[in-house]
């Protein structure tokens, strides 16, 4: 099994190009199932979750050709509606094929999803909302057996809770439903806006009618489409934090700064010096790191996917900080490993109390999930000596060429078998 060795104590300096967004690519890939024509996607990241989703599409009958960061999908023979546990178990986004398969075929059998062990991630919000479009379902031996006897029929749906996955599934399903669907209390993450833009390019009829409300009029024809996926804002945030934690000097390129204003403003409060251009952020880390209190929230709040990374930075702050996790109930699994490196973090319910003034020490470490694994790299970059991070397959699910990108800006890091 592969490991990462990190030799710390280097200030990162240089330029990092941000890859396409994993979290935007996955629902867009699922949505390609709506089409029987060719779809050309650009700026896909080469990460494990994308590979898994492409394999899932292939298992459903899609013909795919992946070259560098571009993918051609042809669904003229796509006729299967069974998504196997073997492909869905490693990735929660697998459930997103349920909506398009129901829209296209009127029935589907899809495994309940897997992914990181950071909470229950219930799909009941997806299923209750789909039932309002005329879907009947049962869960048998870990599979959702769903059918729409009269086809999908447009409806008014108010999500009981803001859910990224449920919003994505219902948007995709509603595009081919008969009549009009109004979705309210939608998640409005940039990745969802990217999905909507992609569907509009395919010839679907979608319009935002309020901040969290979307009107979708069903269509019966999909166009051949070419689309470029947005940048990965979580990857961008991770490298911004890497610069701040190492007192580095980085230019983060291929991004749209206004999409990550919350993260930029948080880092400014913590003490980093940040300037922005149209497609670039320049960050210089400060020796003095200020404490702040943070709570994760749906967009435009602070993202849960950067909570572990920002906690590493707050460990080095001059005073105590509090991090409140309001999205997932089990997302403090990195804390035990950071404490082994010398941090002083205590957990009470959904709050982490970070004491600050930490001098991290090198250690052998275990990654527990995707974002936890990258937080351990950030901590290891600030130490003297060699840290070893095990189970980095988590990392490969969401970060493209992370050690190459970090090496380019001065990190001493290598992958070993």
Q: Which of 71, 77, 81, 214 is nearest to 144 (CA)?
A: 81
Provide the sign of the torsion angle of the four alpha carbons 126, 127, 129, 134, taken in this order: positive
CB 175 within 8 A of CB 206: yes
- Encoding tokens for residue 213? 């409300």
> Catalytic residue at 315?
no
* Percent of residues in the chain assigned helix, strand, coil, to nearest 5: 35, 25, 40
- Contacts of residue 164, Cβ cutoff 8 Å, sequence gap at least 6: 23, 187, 189, 191, 192, 298
Q: Where are the alpha helices (H) located in 320-384, listed in sequence order?
A: 335-340, 370-380
Residue 360 DSSP one-character state: -
Residue 56 vs residues 32, 60, 87, 141: alpha-carbon distances, Å: 12, 6, 6, 20
Provide the sign of the torsion angle of the four alpha carbons 376, 245, 417, 386, taken in this order: negative
- Encoding tokens for residue 123? 């799909």
Active-site residue, from 116, 186, 204, 315: 116
- Residues labelled catalytic: 116
């Amino acid at each position: 099994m592969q490991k990462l060795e990190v030799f710390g104590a280097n200030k990162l300096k240089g330029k990092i190009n941000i890859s396409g967004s994993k979290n935007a690519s996955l629902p867009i890939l699922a949505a390609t199932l709506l089409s029987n024509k060719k779809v050309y996607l650009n700026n896909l990241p080469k990460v494990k979750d994308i590979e898994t989703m492409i394999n899932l599409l292939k298992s459903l009958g899609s013909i795919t050709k992946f070259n560098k960061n571009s993918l051609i999908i042809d669904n003229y023979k796509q006729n299967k509606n069974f998504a196997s546990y073997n492909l869905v178990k490693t990735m929660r986004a697998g459930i997103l094929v349920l909506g398009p398969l129901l829209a296209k075929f009127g029935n589907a059998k899809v495994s309940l999803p897997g992914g990181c062990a950071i909470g229950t991630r219930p799909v009941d919000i997806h299923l209750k909302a789909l039932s309002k479009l005329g879907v009947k379902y049962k869960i048998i031996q870990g599979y959702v057996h769903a059918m729409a006897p009269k086809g999908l029929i447009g409806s008014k749906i108010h999500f009981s809770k803001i859910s990224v996955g449920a919003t994505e599934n219902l948007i995709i399903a509603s595009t081919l439903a008969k009549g009009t669907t109004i979705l309210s209390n939608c998640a409005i993450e940039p990745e969802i806006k990217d999905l909507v833009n992609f569907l509009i390019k395919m010839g679907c009829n979608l319009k935002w009618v309020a901040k969290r409300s979307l009107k979708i009029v069903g269509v019966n024809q999909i166009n051949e489409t070419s689309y470029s996926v947005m940048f990965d804002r979580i990857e961008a945030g991770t490298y911004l934090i890497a610069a701040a934690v190492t007192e580095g000097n980085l230019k983060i390129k291929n991004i749209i700064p206004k999409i990550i204003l919350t993260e930029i403003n948080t880092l400014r409060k913590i003490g980093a010096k940040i300037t922005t251009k149209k497609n670039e952020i320049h960050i210089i880390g400060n020796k003095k790191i200020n404490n702040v209190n943070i709570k994760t929230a749906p967009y435009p709040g602070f993202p849960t996917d950067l909570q572990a990374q920002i906690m590493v930075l707050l460990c080095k702050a001059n005073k105590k900080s509090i991090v409140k996790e309001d999205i997932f109930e089990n997302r403090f699994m990195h804390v035990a490993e950071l404490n082994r490196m010398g941090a002083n973090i205590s957990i009470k319910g959904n709050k982490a109390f970070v004491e600050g003034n930490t001098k991290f020490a090198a250690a052998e470490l275990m990654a527990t999930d995707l974002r936890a694994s990258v937080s351990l790299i950030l901590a290891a970059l600030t130490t003297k000596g060699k840290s070893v991070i095990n189970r980095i397959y988590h990392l490969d699910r969401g970060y493209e060429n992370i050690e190459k990108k970090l090496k380019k800006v001065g990190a001493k890091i290598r992958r070993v078998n």
